[in-house]
Amino acid sequence: MRQAIGWGLLVALASPLYAGPLAADTLYRFIDEDGTVHFSNVPSDPRYVAVRKLRTRVVATRRWGPRNITAYDDIIRDHAVDHGLPAALVKAVIAAESNFDPRARSPKGAQGLMQLMPQTAAYLGVHDAYSVEQNVRGGSRYLAEMLDRFGGDWKRALAAYNAGPEAVDRYQGIPPYRETQEYVRRVMSYYRRYHEEFAR
């Protein structure tokens, strides 16, 4: 019987790039038709069943990308243009939010490539947050709204995308949350990387 470990669990257990304190999480498992046992702390298949709690670390930086990170470039470009956004910025948010996994789901319930919360998705008219087309359309619209709200300030808009616009209003800038501050830095780093790709 073979064993397969999900990407999120593998990084949490094996990566030397740790940041933040230990956090409780749940280990899930399922056995596929070939007899392979799959483990993950981010269940992306309805066959996953909770096995036990485990201790993981929050990873601040991801170095392992999907096989083809350009797979959604045309969709990203179309919706970025529709909402007056640089395509590289939308792609950078996707990289930071889901690492290009359209089935990603956070412990808090955020879904899809741009990690839309259900109430935000409903507000944006996204009926299926796991649809690449709908998710990128809705996420691009929301990012554009945050940029409008914060006068085109990219860093405040990104902080609002991560922590909510109320938090940015409350602190009159990027909130003093380690996660949000790291998120803004990470998105800007991804943006610089992807800018040249879309400029070609």
Q: List the domains of the chain with CATH numbers.
A: 3-59 (no CATH), 73-199 (1.10.530.10)
- In the set 33, 97, 182, 196, the catalytic residue is 97
- pLDDT(64) > 60: no
Distance CA 79, CA 6 (A): 30
pLDDT tier at 46, thresholds 50, 70, 90:
confident
Segment 71-86 shows an average pLDDT of 97
Q: pLDDT tens digit string along 86-112?
A: 999 999 999 999 999 999 999 999 999
The residues, ordered by sequence, that sit 6+ positions from 105 with a Cβ below 8 Å of its Cβ are 42, 43, 44, 111
Q: Is 47 exposed, middle or buried (0-12, 13-18, 19+ CB in 10 A)?
A: exposed
97 is catalytic: yes
